[in-house]
Every structure is written in structure tokens, then in C-alpha cells.
Amino acid sequence: MSESGPRWEKVGLTEGEYGIICRQLGRQPNELELGLYGLMWSEHCSYKSSRKHLASLPTKGSQVLQGPGENAGAVRLAADEDTAVVFRIESHNHPSAVEPVQGAATGVGGILRDVFAMGARPIALFNSLRFGNPDCPRARYLFDGVVRGIASYGNCVGVPTVGGEIYFDEAYKDNPLVNVMCIGITTVESIVRGRASGVGNSVFVVGAATGRDGIHGASLLASREFDDGGEDMRPAVQVGDPFCEKLLIEACLQLLTDDAVVGINDLGAAGLTSAASETAARAGTGIEIDVARVPRREEGMTPYEVMLSESQERMLVIVEGDREQAIRDVFSRWELEAVRIGEVIEDTVLRVRDGEQVLAELPVDTLVDAAPAYCRPAEYRDRGSEEMPLVDEPEDLGAVLVSMLGHPNLCDRRSVYQQFDHMVGTNTVVSPGADAAVLRVKGSRRAVAATVDGNGMLCHLDPARGAENIVAEAYRNLSAVGARPLGLSNCLNFASPEKPEVMGSFIQVVEGMARACRKLDVPVTGGNVSFYNETGQRQVYPTPTVGMVGGLDDVRLSVEPGFSSRGDLVVLVGRSLGHLGGSQYLNIIHQEVSGPVAEVDFSLERAISEVVRAAAAEGLLSSSHDVSDGGIATALAECCCLSPGRLGASVVLAGTGRSDALLFGEEGGRIVVSLPPQRLPSLCRRARKFDCPVTVLGMVGGKSLVIHRQMGEGDDISPPAGSDSSQWRKHLQRAQMTAEKLMDLPLDKLMQVREDGLI
């Protein structure tokens, strides 16, 4: 913390905010009180630049059990049972930029605590990561450190990392984005809230002892832009202990089976200050804390340091006054400390004592609810209205596909996710590498599906449409594995909100996300806003990340992306329009980040998802894979590379316009499926019900991916429904004879290129 400048600047406040505090208190706050306000009024904790705009997001739904405002959101898995899915996504961007291993590791630890604080057992972790060019030494250092931090913490704590995404762009050179999602399972009746109810009830701090790590993490590290001296902020990065976290998970879940617990809350950002004031605010009570009782792992710590510390693996637990021994017994069994540090009081204040001496006394509502809500100046720039760039169409489109598959943004992520234990807990049914992960709910046939998706490049070009496309892709990813979407949590990553162009992008992203959620009937159950992701003159792209969960009624009917049976038909559900704006093709091959972003056809998105989910539920599909980054050519190549039988395919694409647009266009509204020929009539009947286009593209088989181009609109290559396999094959062969062959790529080559792309 700087020793120079006005006292309010030392805790990250403005002079105007300091004046508001003085008026609310009728006096000047002392140093400890000012530190508490610095935490609670920070951008990271108060959402003072964003909360007016976030109010437009839809948060209600028949399946929603807990919306924004608690440790995590919760949805009911199915209407006819009491399983609840608890989930949240959060950022740990600034700590990871300063110290990537511990920054990422403690991000995992924090999101785990958010979920088990709700009474849910964590069953899976996901991540969304963005870095600069991997050839840059600093970007490589950050990438390697973040991956190591996620692996070391998740593997040790025993929660599988089952999905995620990784992208590279110079916009993230100095500020990586590290977003982590956790999902957990409990029953509807077992959900616990973080509320300090019941005057006279005891307040316990449990878990690890308190140290000096993380002080001012929320108020300074996460709530301001960096400069070139970011390394001196290392003391504000927390240090994690996954083995302690594992014990804490088990102790808390055991404790929550006892009705002695009134409320529980994670000690994350803003530490003891946030946990105490927020639990009291939710309950309409107050809390008195004696800092002298807080266990410490370092000598000479001041009350200021104790209250502002963000040391990891700690929880605040509110216990009925006559049941204190119960909590001590549970935590003693798990060799963890459980210390009574205060009690719930009737006065709605946060009172901090050191023994008999009162050090701070602040109205809870001034800490939690009274931070100013800014309507910052916003400037809107419509980059997406630009014309498509004039680029030459490459002659060798097969070489283009090979180059794209080997690029870090599209290549196989196996070298990363193999560092994560994705099978611990034995719930994982669909593993990393698919459109969405699928995890069984033990004791039933049901399953949970989840995915994380983001696209900063699209939102840089057109924030509103970019956000709509992100929500639509997550929705499509869940549908591709056979799951019905239930809800989402968002993580909104932006540069400084004090810059009008950044604030304009933020507002447009929220508007686009709200519109998409309403159109697709997916409520938002919570999330996180991370501002000030910039260093010097370099800002990150506006990068909203969506973590979406869904449910399957029968885990045995989940569908994976790889072609699995020779002779299956390859079918496109949806339609291709050849939209290249904002595509990876333009970015990778032509070094262009430009063009209009595709408009989302929400009716089509709902239709293709309904068709694919219904077909999956009836066991019609052998495989299913959404079309997104890299277009349909990349999707087909991935279906081949992910084939358990190492199967290729031969397909014919019809359409007008440029071949590169047909192959690599990235408009949504498309899922590639494969199925036995005799099942096609059933798929077509479901498609007609939802007025959904269905086109037979080709057939699975061989050891190469062969793509033909039929010029013009062409004839319908789908013979009459009911034709047998041999008729299909002959018809497709005739179609290929009259079409131009664009590429014939051996599967072994495609797989090798994808595997070599990142490491």
C-alpha cells in the first residue's frame, strides 16, 4: 500500500467516495474503518460501475432455486426430482498476471468454496483461459504457470477438471484472463444460504489460520489497471493449500448435515470483512467480531491486517448459540481449527473489537449497499458495420484447413487437459474435448452437462451481437450432447470502466446477453465482473465468458462428437450461409480481425437444439458436434480426429459464393450429426415438426476427410427417405462425381497437426 497521497487513495477510494462515507457516518472513519470501506466499495466487491446495467439480465425461471446475491446460483436438475445443481464462474485475472501459479490455484480454491458453501458437493471444474501469442516468452510463462496452478490445486483437492477453452491473442499479452467455474450437486432441501440470522448465535471462523497474503487484493490488485511495476503487487496474491481445502470441503459438508448451522460463507475477496458484513446484510442483523480471537499464522499481525487478509481455505460459519460444541467436534475430526470469534447482534452494524477495545463500528448497509452506483460515460462504436475485407481466396483450401487445425486457437487441447485429473470421482461420462462435459448423478440415470464459452474477438467487433453469439454457442454445445439448458453464470472481463469506449462495450455486451437469454429462455443465476484488465496502452478485448449447465434424463443417451460407425450418414442440422466476419479463418490465414458479426437466428437455434435433443433422447444419433470456430470444415475434421475408430468421411457441400466462405464461415445455427441411414426418416420427421433444415452431406468411412463442393444451389443430394445403405452410398458417389473436390486429407495427418499445434 502506498505511503504517499491522500488517505482515501491508499485504499483505492476517490475523494468523492470518501466524502460520501464521512456524510453517512457523520464523522471521519478511522484507519481500520477506512480500510473496510476500501474493500467493500472497491469495484471488485461493490460492482459500482456495473450493477445498474446487470439488473437487465433475466434471473427468473421455474427451475431457478437461487439467483444472484448468494455464494453461487442453483437450478433444479429436473422438475420431477429434488436434485439441485449449484454453480458459479469467477475471474482471477489480476492475481494470475502477477503470480500465475498461485493466482490460478487460488482462483480454483475460491470457486470451490463458493459452491460447497451452498451445501453442494463440488463434482467438476471448468476453465476459460486467454493469453498473448504463445511464441512470446511472457505469454508462455503465464500460460505454463496458470495451467500448472489449475492442475496442482484441482488434482490435489480431488475435483476433476472436465472442460474449458483456451485462446491466444495479442490483446491478452500482458493481462491473461483466468476464469474458473465449479458445479456441485445437492438436494433442493439441503441448499444453505450465507446469512447471519438469529441474534445471539455464534460466529465461527473455520479452516486455515489467517496470514498477511491477499491484503488489499480486492481493493487495489483487482480494482485498478496495471502498470509496468506489477511485480511489486505479489504480496496481494493469496497462497493456496489444496490439501487443507480438501479437509475443509469434507468438514463443512459433514457439518451441514446438522441443523446447528444457520449460515455459512466463503472468506474470499475482502476476507473476513466481506463475509461478516454480507451475511449480516442478507439477514438484516449485525455482527460483532473480536479480532484477538482470530487464529493467525504470522506474528505481529495488526487488526487491520486480520480484517483485510484474503488468506485462503477459510469459512465463516453461523451456529446456533447452544450448539457450539458440535462444530468444534466436526472440525477437530478433520484436524482443522474452528474458533468462535463473535456473535450475531441486534444492532445492524459491523463491530470490530480487540478484546474490550472497540476498533470499528460501521452500519452494515453502508458497507454492503451504499457504495455509489455509477452511470459512467459510454461511447458506442459500431466496428461490425464495416464491409468484409477484400482478401484473396486461397487456391489450396486443404492446406488452409491444415494450417487452421494446427493454430493454437483451434488445435487439440489434449496436451493441456491431460495435466488435469478429469476422472477423479468417477462421475465423468463425456470427457474434455467434446462440446460439453457430461457427469452422472450417482444413484440415478440423470446427468449434468456443462460448458464454458467466450469470444472476445467477436465482442471487439460488435459487443451486442458478439454476446448473443456466445450465449447461443453455449446453448448449442449443451444441446449437441443431448442436454436441455437450465441456466448460466457469466464472467464479464473488460478494461477500465472509466474509459467511455470500454463502458459502451460493456453496456452493449450486457444488452446482447440479456436479449439472448430471453430468446433462449436461459436465466442468469449469478456471475462476476472483472474490470481494469489493461496494462499501459494495451486493453483486453471485451470478453464475456458464459458457463452454462444443462440436464439429461438418461446419461446413457449422451452423445459425443467423434464419428463412431462406418457407413453412417453425415447430416447437417441447420443451414450454412458462409459468413466470414470475425472468423478464425480471417484471423489465422489473413491476419484480419474485421467484418460484420453474424446475426443470431434465435428461432433456428432453438429449432436445431430441439431436433438434436429429441433425436439424442431416442437414441438415433451416433455422434453430434456443433459448428463454431473454424466453420464446417473444421467441425468435420474434428469429428474425424475425435473418432474412436479413427474414421474419416466423404462429404459434399452445396451453396453459392466463395468456397472459403462455405468451408470456414462461422455463423451459428448448425450441428453436424451422424446416424445409421435407416434412422434418417425419424430425424427428418422431428426436423419437420420444428421447421428445421436438414441436409445429408455424406458418409462416414475411410481414413481421410474428403470434401467436395457442388457449385450453385445444386440438386438435393438426399434420396427418398427409407432408402437402404447401398442406395445412399451410390447416390452420394454420383453427387461427388459431379462436384469439385476441394480437399482430400489423410486422417493421420489431421490428427498429427492438431496434436502438435500448442506444445
Q: Which residues does the annotation mark as catalytic?
A: 44, 92
* CA–CA distance, 154 with 743 (Å, rounded to integer): 42
Distances 202 to 97, 321, 339, 700 between C-alpha atoms, Å: 39, 5, 10, 65
The partner residues of 344 in beta bridges, in order of sequence, read 287
- Of the candidates 516, 547, 524, 505, the one whose C-alpha atom is nearest the C-alpha of residue 49 is 505
Q: What are phi and psi of 595, to 5 degrees?
A: 95, 160
- What's the one-letter identity of residue 452? V
The SS3 of residue 54 is helix
What residues have CB less than 8 Å from 229, skipping those under 6 apart?
Answer: none
| Residue 445 C-alpha from the chain's centroid | 26
* CA–CA distance, 151 with 367 (Å, rounded to integer): 36
Question: Is-contact 562 434, C-beta < 8 A?
Answer: no
Beta-strand relationship, 314-319 and 202-207: antiparallel
Beta-strand relationship, 428-430 and 437-440: antiparallel
* CA–CA distance, 460 with 404 (Å, rounded to integer): 21
> In three state form, how does the secondary structure of 174-217 look?
CCCEEEEEEEEEEEHHHCCCCCCCCCCCEEEEEECCECCCCCCH
Handedness of CA 344, 347, 353, 356 (dihedral sign): negative
Beta-strand relationship, 121-131 and 704-711: unpaired
By the 10 Å C-beta count (0-12 exposed, 13-18 middle, 19+ buried), 310 is classed as buried
* CA–CA distance, 315 with 338 (Å, rounded to integer): 10
The SS3 of residue 162 is strand
* CA–CA distance, 549 with 705 (Å, rounded to integer): 33
How is 582-627 classified by DSSP, letter by letter? Answer: T-HHHHHHH----SPPPPP-HHHHHHHHHHHHHHHHTT--SEEEE-
The partner residues of 700 in beta bridges, in order of sequence, read 649
DSSP state of 219: I
* CA–CA distance, 410 with 758 (Å, rounded to integer): 9
Neighbours of 741 (CB within 10 A): 13
Neighbours of 15 (CB within 10 A): 9
Question: Is-contact 619 613, C-beta < 8 A?
Answer: no
* CA–CA distance, 533 with 653 (Å, rounded to integer): 42
* CA–CA distance, 321 with 435 (Å, rounded to integer): 49
The SS3 of residue 286 is strand
Distances 180 to 287, 309, 543, 615 between C-alpha atoms, Å: 31, 22, 14, 32
- What's the one-letter identity of residue 709? R
| Residue 111 C-alpha from the chain's centroid | 11
By the 10 Å C-beta count (0-12 exposed, 13-18 middle, 19+ buried), 707 is classed as buried
